[in-house]
Amino acid sequence: MHFSRGTLTIAALAGAASLALAPTATAATTYQISVVPPLGTVYANNLVTLGALVTPTPTGTDGSTPVELEITEPDGDVNTRTIPLTLGAGTAAIRTHEAGRYTAVFTYAPPNGTPAETTTQFDAVASPGLGLGS
């Protein structure tokens, strides 16, 4: 059997294309969450911004998976927020209702990767008075 050079080239290109377009079996990515804590003094009854950075940067369906944020207030009340990610990073604004220690648990559970979780704490101090009258 004799094949021309053109036929062999077409067969090689077709094989390469089918390999390039075939789904690849890859191991699940192991993600980590880094927390961006509130900056400066945190006062009670104010808004505070918390940030999350997921590395490596999630892609595909992992990239559209948000980070779940669970905040425990000093009195034990628990609030949850969802932080959508853009290029692996996102922020959430929360209101501190009282002075004391807050605990924030960040959880990232992508469909194709290993879930990640990290915890941070910060303190809120009583808001200063306005100094009006006595």
- Please write the tens of the pLDDT for every residue from 1-52: 555 555 545 544 445 444 444 444 455 789 999 999 988 889 998 999 999 9
Count structural domains, the chain: 1
Q: What is the pLDDT of residue 16?
A: 46
Residue 130 lies in a domain: no
8: enclosing H helix or E strand: helix 5-21
Q: What is the pLDDT of residue 77?
A: 95
Residue 32 lies in a domain: yes
Q: Where are the beta strands (DSSP E) in the chain?
A: 29-30, 32-36, 47-55, 67-72, 78-83, 89-95, 100-108, 113-114, 116-124
- Please write the tens of the pLDDT for every residue from 76-87: 999 999 999 999
- Please write the tens of the pLDDT for every residue from 23-35: 444 557 899 999 9
Residue 16 lies in a domain: no
Residue 134 lies in a domain: no
pLDDT beyond 50 at 127: yes
> Count of CB atoms within 10 A of residue 87's CB?
11
Residue 12 lies in a domain: no
Pairing, β 29-30 against β 113-114: parallel
Residue 2 lies in a domain: no
CATH number of the domain at 83, please: 2.60.40.1940
Residue 3 lies in a domain: no
CA atoms within 13 A on the CB side of 84: 2
- Residue 53 is part of which domain span? 28-121
Q: What is the pLDDT of residue 8?
A: 42
30 closest CA partner among 107, 129, 102, 115:
115
